[in-house]
């Protein structure tokens, strides 16, 4: 759970940092686009049934490691900040929140041959 809140704060920082630290236009746009995506996926993953959505952060976290070089950021602080956030968001997104409830096998049950909700031990 706390890992998700860290991701939300990092996403908000991506949105705010360009103005606070005076990034160039390309680094700013990147933060303004990737920040809201990370905040959105992380917020959705706060709930148990949609906790797996945290993994949707992976491509965006990896992009943050590459973006400073591909987009050629001119500000060192922008390069350091984006790469650090990318690494942290990736690490935090790998961690599963502890589950209080069962969900009949969850979303993956919909593709399974023997989903949990069809052979429930409680029945």
Partner 1 sequence: MGQRSEYIPPGWDYNPAAWSQRIPIVILAFVGFGIATYLSLYQLNYVDTVWEPFFGDGSITILNSKISRLLPIPDAALGALGYLVDAISGIIGGTNRWRRMPWIVIVFGLAVGPLGFISVMLVVFQPVLFSAWCTLCLASAIVSISMIGPAMDEMLASLQYIQRAKRSGISTWKVFWGIQPEVEKIK
**By the criterion CB under 8 A, which residues form the site for partner 1?**
15, 29, 32-33, 36-37, 39-40, 43-50, 53, 100-107, 109-110, 115-118, 120, 122-123
Output 50 or 62, the one with its CB closest to partner 1.
Answer: 50
Output 11 or 87, the one with its CB closest to partner 1.
Answer: 11
Contact yes or no for 61/93 (Cβ under 8 A): yes
Give Cα separations from 109 to 13, 114, 122 (angstroms).
36, 8, 17
Contact yes or no for 28/18 (Cβ under 8 A): yes
Contact yes or no for 66/77 (Cβ under 8 A): no
CB of 57: closest distance to partner 1 in angstroms? 14
CB of 46: closest distance to partner 1 in angstroms? 6
């Amino acid at each position: 759970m706390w890992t998700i809140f860290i991701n939300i704060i990092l996403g908000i920082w991506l949105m705010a940092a360009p103005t606070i630290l005076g990034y160039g236009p390309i680094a700013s746009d990147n933060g303004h686009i990737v920040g809201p995506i990370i905040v959105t996926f992380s917020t959705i993953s706060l709930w148990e049934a949609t906790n797996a959505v945290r993994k949707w952060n992976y491509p965006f976290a990896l992009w943050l490691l590459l973006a400073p070089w591909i987009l050629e950021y001119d500000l060192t602080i922008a390069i350091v900040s984006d790469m650090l956030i990318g690494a942290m968001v990736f690490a935090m997104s790998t961690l599963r929140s502890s589950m209080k409830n069962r969900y009949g096998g969850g979303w993956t049950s919909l593709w399974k041959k023997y989903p949990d909700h069809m052979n429930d031990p409680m029945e």
